[in-house]
Amino acid sequence: MAEGTILHIKDAEFEQEVTKADIPVLVDFWAPWCGPCQMVAPVLEELAQEFSGRVKIAKMNVDENPATPPLFSIRAIPTLILFKKGEVVERITGVVPKDQLKSKLEKVA
């Protein structure tokens, strides 16, 4: 994975890329047909650049990955979950301003 890029993960990779990651991971549970998800995408691209090497930003398409979202009770998208050392430390549902997301990332980075 190139530094500062968003990682697209699948069910099979979730444990390795998220719960066993050595840095915090923000996972965006999304779908291509979701309008609000499209609004969050450019913000996540910017944050991936800003937090490169300190926080990993990942996206999981809920339509293509049926196993993982139910484990975290994903009922609405976009839902962003911030993991640190495999534990959920923050959960955000819906579109939030970039500065709000950034402050949450700064707490764990």
Decide if 97 is inside a domain.
yes
Which three-class secondary structure state does DSSP give residue 48? helix
> How many Å is the Cα radius of gyration of the chain?
12
- Total tally of structural domains belonging to the chain: 1
Q: What is the CATH number of the domain that holds 100?
A: 3.40.30.10
Decide if 1 is inside a domain.
no
Q: What does each C-alpha distance from 25 to 7, 33, 35, 59, 95 come to in angstroms?
A: 10, 24, 23, 10, 18
List, for residues 3-59, the tens digit of each pLDDT value.
679 999 999 999 999 999 999 999 999 999 999 999 999 999 999 999 999 999 999
pLDDT of residue 4: 76
Q: Indicate the pTM of the whole model.
A: 0.96
Residues classed as catalytic: 34, 37
Decide if 89 is inside a domain.
yes
List, for residues 57-103, the tens digit of each pLDDT value.
999 999 999 999 999 999 999 999 999 999 999 999 999 999 999 99
Q: What does each C-alpha distance from 23 to 4, 5, 8, 69, 88 come to in angstroms?
A: 13, 15, 17, 21, 13
Domain containing residue 17:
7-108
